[in-house]
Amino acid sequence: MVYALVDKETLVSKEVSLSDLLLHINTLPHVAMLQYRNKYGSLEEKKSDLFDIRKIYTGILVVNDSIELIDYADGLHIGQEDIRKYSHEPKEAVRLIREKIGSKILGLSTHNKVEILEANELDLNYIGLGAYRATSTKSEATVGGERLLKAAKYSKYPVAIIGGVRLDDSFDAPIVYKVIGSGLYSTIVKDPHDRD
C-alpha cells in the first residue's frame, strides 16, 4: 500500500498546488494513508490545509508532529526528536501523547534496530523506517538499504518504509506501507534533480 507524504515545503519549492497534488494522489492505486507535514506554517495555515485535504482525499489522514491539530486528522506521526519533547522516557512520552489523541493512529519514526525494539514497547499503530535509499530532498539522511529491510523484521508493528521508495518497489512483511514523498510529483512536474 502507498503512504503519501505531503510536505508543504516541497509543494512550494516545486510550485505545485495542494489540490493538484491531491487530485494526482487520487489517481494512484492503493493510497491507504496520507501524512501532512508542514514544519514552518502557522496553525491556521495547517488547519486550512487539513480541511482542503479532507475535501479531496478520503483515506486515512495523519498529521506530522502538530498534536494540537489532532481533531482534524485520523492520527499523528511523530519523530524521534519530537517525542522527547513530551518526556525523555519514551513510554511516558507516548502515554502523554495518548492522553491527547486517544485511540487515534500513532506512528513513530525509526532508523535502526535499536529504535525498532524500543518502539515495540510503546503503544503505537505503526512505525516509519528510513531512509531506505538516498533522495534529493533528504541529503542528510543516513541510508540503510538492505540493512533496514533486515531491521524491519524485528518490528511487531506494520512498517512504513521511507526514503527513495518507488511505486514499483516490493517489500515483505512487516513492511506494509511504501512512503512516497517527492516521487509523487514525477508526473506533475519534471525536475532534473529528482531521482526518486
Q: What average pLDDT does the segment 169-177 reach?
A: 96
- Residues 2-185: name the CATH superfamily: Aldolase class I (3.20.20.70)
Question: All 3 cell numbers of residue 187?
Answer: 508526473
pLDDT of residue 85: 94
pLDDT of residue 182: 86
Q: What average pLDDT does the segment 190-195 reach?
A: 48
Rounded to 10 degrees, the C-alpha dihedral 36/37/41/44 comes to: 30
pLDDT band at 139 (very low <50, low <70, confident <90, very high): low
Q: Calculate the CA 153 to chain-centre distance.
A: 19
Annotated domain spans of the chain: 2-185
pLDDT of residue 188: 80
Q: What is the pLDDT of residues 70-129, one digit of tens each?
A: 999 999 999 999 999 999 999 999 999 999 999 999 999 999 999 999 999 999 999 999
Question: Can you give the C-alpha Rg of the chain in angstroms?
Answer: 16
Residue 49, pLDDT > 90, answer: yes
Q: What is the C-alpha separation between 7 and 14, in angstroms, rounded?
A: 11
Q: What is the C-alpha separation between 165 and 182, in angstroms, rounded?
A: 10
